[in-house]
Amino acid sequence: MNTAMKNEKAKPRKTTDRGELRTDDLEVIYDSDAGKTVALSSTSLTINPGEFVCVLGPSGCGKSTLLNVIAGFVRPTGGEALLDGQAIEQPGADRSMVFQQHSLLPWKTVRANIGLGPKLLGDIEANSTVNHFIEMVGLKKYEHHYPDQLSGGMQQRVGIARALATFPRVLLMDEPFAALDYQTRLMMQENLLNLWEELGTTVVFVTHDVDEAIFLSDRILVMSASPGRIVKDIANPLPRPRDQMISSEPKFMAIKRDCMEIIRAESLRTF
Ligand SMILES: Nc1ncnc2c1ncn2[C@@H]1O[C@H](COP(=O)(O)OP(=O)(O)OP(=O)(O)O)[C@@H](O)[C@H]1O
Ligand SMILES: [Mg+2]
The whole model's pTM is what?
A: 0.93
Residue 234 lies in a domain: yes
pLDDT of residue 16: 65
Our answer on whether the CB atom of 30 is closer than 6 Å to any ligand 1 atom is yes
Residue 154 lies in a domain: no
Number of domains in the chain: 1
Nearest ligand 1 atom, CA 32: 4
Residue 90 lies in a domain: yes
Nearest ligand 1 atom, CA 34: 4
Ligand positioned closest to the Cα atom of 68:
1
pLDDT of residue 255: 96
Q: Omega of the bond prior to 118 within 30 degrees of 0, cis?
A: no
Ligand 1, atom 20: nearest CA belongs to which residue? 60
Domain holding 34, by residue range, is: 19-94+171-270
Nearest ligand 1 atom, CA 228: 14
Residue 123 lies in a domain: no
Q: DSSP of 191-229, one letter per residue?
A: HHHHHHHHH--EEEEEES-HHHHHHH-SEEEEEETTTTE
For residues 39 and 32, what is the distance between their CA atoms, to the nearest angstrom?
12
Residue 218 lies in a domain: yes
CATH number at residue 184: 3.40.50.300
* Residues 6+ away with beta carbon under 8 Å from 180: 152, 153, 156, 188
Ligand 1, atom 2: nearest CA belongs to which residue? 30
Ligand 1, atom 17: nearest CA belongs to which residue? 64
Residues of the chain with pLDDT under 70: 1-16
Residue 161 lies in a domain: no
pLDDT of residue 14: 53
Please name the amino acid found at residue 234.
Answer: I
- Percent helix, strand and coil across the chain, each to the nearest 5: 40, 25, 35
pLDDT of residue 12: 37
Our answer on whether the CB atom of 63 is closer than 6 Å to any ligand 1 atom is yes
Our answer on whether the CB atom of 31 is closer than 6 Å to any ligand 1 atom is no
Residue 124 lies in a domain: no
Our answer on whether the CB atom of 90 is closer than 6 Å to any ligand 1 atom is no
Our answer on whether the CB atom of 229 is closer than 6 Å to any ligand 1 atom is no
Ligand positioned closest to the Cα atom of 61:
1
User: Pocket of ligand 1, candidates 61, 75, 231, 267: which has the most ligand atoms within 8 Å of its Cβ, to mutate?
Assistant: 61
User: How far is the centre of ligand 1, averaged over its atoms, from the C-alpha of 4 (Å)?
Assistant: 37
User: How far is the centre of ligand 2, averaged over its atoms, from the C-alpha of 99 (Å)?
Assistant: 9
pLDDT of residue 25: 96
Our answer on whether the CB atom of 65 is closer than 6 Å to any ligand 1 atom is yes
Ligand positioned closest to the Cα atom of 63:
1
Residue 25 lies in a domain: yes
pLDDT of residue 271: 74
pLDDT of residue 56: 96
87 three-class SS: strand
Ligand 1, atom 26: nearest CA belongs to which residue? 59
pLDDT of residue 11: 35
Ligand 1, atom 6: nearest CA belongs to which residue? 30
On average, the pLDDT of the chain sits at 92
